[in-house]
Structure 1
Amino acid sequence: MAYSTNASAPPSGGFRWLQLIIGVVCMAMIANLQYGWTFFVSPMAKAHAWDVASIQVAFSIFVALETWLTPLEGWIVDSLGQRGPRLMVAAGGIFVALGWLINAKATSLEMLYLGAVVSGIGAGGIYATCVGNAVKWFPDRRGLAVGCTAAGFGAGAAVTVIPIQIMIASIGYADTFFWFALGQGGVIFVLAWFLRPPLPGEVPPASAVKVLQSKTSSTPGQMLASPMFWLLYLMFVLVSASGLMVAAQLAIIAKDYGVSQTVLLFGATTLTVAGIIDNVANGSARPFFGWVSDQIGREYTMAIAFTLGGLAYWLLGTAGTTPWTFVICAAIVFFTWGEIFSLFPSTCTDMFGPKYATTNTSLLYTAKGLSAFVVPLANVLKTYSGSWHSVFAVAAIMNFIVVALALFVVRPLRLNASEKKNPVVQAAE
């Protein structure tokens, strides 16, 4: 695997930008499945006398299936050729709608878990397809394109934070599940039919970037045999777990701090303001840090982002107990967490090449599924310690570990591979 750092950027057509926009919108339509979940937890617990930890198992199931099945879904998309993206995303739209319809009718935890299974399968197919399509259409702007696509998933829920809360308060959580299922699933199903991968010669070749980038591609099997992949996987798990703990528990944390219902701005409560700002911060971080990483390198960008993230978790546990400090600290947490979904796919493709990028990045993305099972443990730790401070201290330490690995392990290994002009793994010719 030889590394390239110098070439010229050829012109690009406008059709690929339409493909990117469609992908972003589809990602926005599945954002509530993860980032809007926190607003449904307390109403469900109250209506059915379910304990919060048991309800959050559904969240873990959703995230696990939304991630662990993406390699298979990505392989199906690639195998179907030009039909792949539209068929997978259309099916995904049906599945995410059906999943929330099941949630609306769930009268048992088992039924709620079934809804999580169905919606997780659908969301994973949509996520893998849209990210894979962005990688294929934008070989010359990898970090930015993946960041924009992932931003749809991170920030998409921001515009529906207030409507969801208003609807839950007025018509109940079940009917809110029902109507959002139809609306989100319907938009995805319609847009799916406009998606397709690029034809040969339809996109520019990869242009020079300011980061180390492989000219050759490793197969999924070769990538899985590389210790560098598993190092990236460990780093992804650590950072993803810390962010998911907050994403799933935001409403509960605000309630425990006694600030959730405090009117903060224009009649909106602290939780509402935090929900809007956090989703915007989470989404904007992805293209921003993706672009930054194209300029200064993936590892340096990770070091900056995750150092700030570790400090943000610590501050949320020590100083986030007032309305405005809660909003500010939570926003910084989301801003320094969301970029993992642009940095890690970009780094993976830099290291292992673009040919199998859809499958390879999907394999790395399964780390998010593993990290989801840390979410219920946060409740256990909070109950054992009696406060959220210990949870946030652990999250901060996890981020600082990743900073050290990025600077002192990953970057030296990649530089060494570049200087010796040897592959990080045996590359496919």
Structure 2
Amino acid sequence: MNARIEPLHEEAGAPASTTHHRWLQLGLGLLCMMSISSPQYVWTLLTKPLSAKLGVPLPELQITFSLLIILQTFFSPFQGKLIDRFGPRLLISLGTVMSGLSWVLSSMATSTPMLYLTYGLVGGLGTGIVYVGVVGLMVRWFPDRRGFAAGAVAAGYGMGAIVTTFPISASLAARGLDATLWLYGIAFAVVGFVASQGLRVPRDATTPKASAVAGADARDLRPSQMMKSPLFWLMFAMMTMMSTSGLMVTSQMATFAADFGITKVVVFGMAALPLALTIDRFTNGLTRPLFGWVSDRFGRENTMFFAFALEGVAMALWLMTRDNAVLFVLLSGVVFFGWGEIFSLFPSTLTDTFGTRHATENYGWLYISQGIGSIFGGPLAALLHQHTGSWVPVFSVGITLDIVTAVLAILVLKPMRARFLSKAIV
């Protein structure tokens, strides 16, 4: 007997009630994403104390970060299938608890294999469930505003660490590494678990407005069908390139800031690195709903071209002015503003192209690209720096990837997708 647990749906009611309910869902999804953001976005603050505690060099330690992202992404198709089958509340509840628990367990780690298992494995699987589940749910609740909705909840993942960066930095100095991991791990698990209890699946993921989206829902392709299309693999390659560039900065920022002489400098009355990280979290979050909203109105590929090129230019200026602490802080915010929008532009573009019915599982397959990017942007970037003794080659690779991806968006992706959708409509 093939038992199936049906996910909870919203109650049928007036359109106004439905509209209100979907904004409530957006808020709850945002809280869930905020609760899982610190393992990735505060990692750079933990590298030095972890390296000192475990007595390992940075490239070996950065494997933890890559494992977090790889496991967060590589298992996401399977997690998406489970979420579609059993509903978001059960799976996302489990994911938020696993994410918080990973920090609690990491506080007890006495070797890198233990850290890989706790911070990497448990944390990666937990955050992956939550991230894919929430994004997949929101593109179904908002078929007429997919870019904005995906960006809004992704902003929770990008901006969630705003409220924790300074407190965690202060806690590391006052309480030490282990107590900080334990305390904040419990807090993350509680907040995420409570917020996830209100998540629901919409009764009908389509609305009349959805048909106004160019090509939206022209066909609902399963992952096996989607992956036969060269269009999917182009998106996959583009997201991999952007993830490599962005995750290089995310995972290595504290290290190259120290090499640039920034960590002991005060800017605007505050320590430069925590200030830069806080600004980064804000711009990294703001860009997601903002560029998602722009793409809803002016086209996905046009928005990609501008945003990706913006990051490439900002990274080049950042490198050229790396000895100026004020510009380091300000330009870091611009760099993240040009990167974070990939988490609204790619899922909305994918769903516009291949349909909503399998949106969660389909995005799970695309999301694997971030895991590949974490390998290039994490330990491999650290090894490149170690072998060359300079951050210039590392930054040069990231800048090149940004510019190439921007060009691909406007010159290759845009015409390919137009042809694909025209055939789908016919």
Q: Taking structure 2 as the reference length, what is the TM-score of the superposition?
A: 0.93
Aligned twin of 2:9: none
Consecutive unaligned residues of structure 1, counting only runs of 5 or more, are 1-9
Aligned twin of 1:193: 197
Distance across 1 between alignment mates of 2:226 and 2:209? 21
For the 8 Å contact 1:211–1:298, the answer to whether it is kept is no
Q: Does 1:252 align with 2:255?
A: yes
Aligned twin of 1:92: 95
Aligned twin of 1:123: 127
Of 296, 309, 312, the match for 1:310: 312
Distance across 2 between alignment mates of 1:13 and 1:295? 20
Of 22, 26, 47, the match for 1:20: 26
1:65-214 pair list within 5 angstroms: 65-80=71-86, 84-115=87-118, 116-200=120-204, 204-207=207-210, 209=212, 211-214=214-217
Aligned twin of 2:54: 48
For the 8 Å contact 1:282–1:334, the answer to whether it is kept is yes
Which shows bigger deviation, 273-282 or 12-21?
Answer: 12-21
* Structure 2 counterpart of 1:385, one-letter code: T
SS at match of 1:139: coil
For the 8 Å contact 1:316–1:392, the answer to whether it is kept is no
1:231 positional shift: 0.6
Aligned twin of 2:321: 319
Distance across 1 between alignment mates of 2:266 and 2:345? 36
Q: Does 1:237 align with 2:233?
A: no
* Structure 1 counterpart of 2:292, one-letter code: G
Consecutive unaligned residues of structure 2, counting only runs of 5 or more, are 1-14
Distance across 2 between alignment mates of 1:58 and 1:308? 30
Distance across 2 between alignment mates of 1:93 and 1:301? 32
What's the CA shift string for 1:293-312, capped at 9, x where partnerless?
11111111111011111111
For the 8 Å contact 1:318–1:389, the answer to whether it is kept is no
1:212 positional shift: 4.6
SS at match of 2:133: helix
1:227 positional shift: 0.7
For the 8 Å contact 1:239–1:398, the answer to whether it is kept is yes
What's the CA shift string for 1:120-151, capped at 9, x where partnerless?
11111111111111011111111100000100
SS at match of 2:160: helix
1:92 positional shift: 0.9
Distance across 2 between alignment mates of 1:360 and 1:247? 26
1:387-398 pair list within 5 angstroms: 387-398=390-401
For the 8 Å contact 2:213–2:352, the answer to whether it is kept is no
For the 8 Å contact 1:131–1:146, the answer to whether it is kept is yes
Distance across 2 between alignment mates of 1:23 and 1:195? 7
SS at match of 1:199: coil
Q: Does 1:405 align with 2:411?
A: no
Classify 1:210/1:74 alpha carbon distance in 2 versus 1 (closer, same or farther; 3 Å): closer
Classify 1:200/1:350 alpha carbon distance in 2 versus 1 (closer, same or farther; 3 Å): closer
Identity of aligned residues (%): 39
1:209 positional shift: 4.6
Of 51, 54, 63, the match for 1:57: 63
1:255-334 pair list within 5 angstroms: 255-266=258-269, 268-334=270-336
For the 8 Å contact 2:36–2:100, the answer to whether it is kept is no
1:214 positional shift: 4.2
* Structure 1 counterpart of 2:36, one-letter code: I
1:322 positional shift: 1.5
RMSD value, Cα:
1.6
Aligned twin of 1:335: 337
SS at match of 2:267: strand
What's the CA shift string for 1:28-82, capped at 9, x where partnerless?
01100100111010011122221111111000000001111111111111112xx
Distance across 2 between alignment mates of 1:205 and 1:362? 27
Distance across 2 between alignment mates of 1:96 and 1:145? 23
1:19 positional shift: 0.7
What's the CA shift string for 1:325-372, capped at 9, x where partnerless?
111221111000000000000111111111111111111011001111
* Structure 2 counterpart of 1:371, one-letter code: G
* Structure 2 counterpart of 1:282, one-letter code: N
1:94 positional shift: 2.0
What's the CA shift string for 1:155-178, capped at 9, x where partnerless?
110111110000000010111100
SS at match of 2:381: helix
Classify 1:336/1:211 alpha carbon distance in 2 versus 1 (closer, same or farther; 3 Å): farther
Distance across 1 between alignment mates of 2:241 and 2:202? 35
Distance across 1 between alignment mates of 2:416 and 2:197? 43
Distance across 1 between alignment mates of 2:209 and 2:348? 13
* Structure 1 counterpart of 2:290, one-letter code: F
* Structure 2 counterpart of 1:395, one-letter code: G
Aligned twin of 1:5: none
* Structure 1 counterpart of 2:183, one-letter code: W
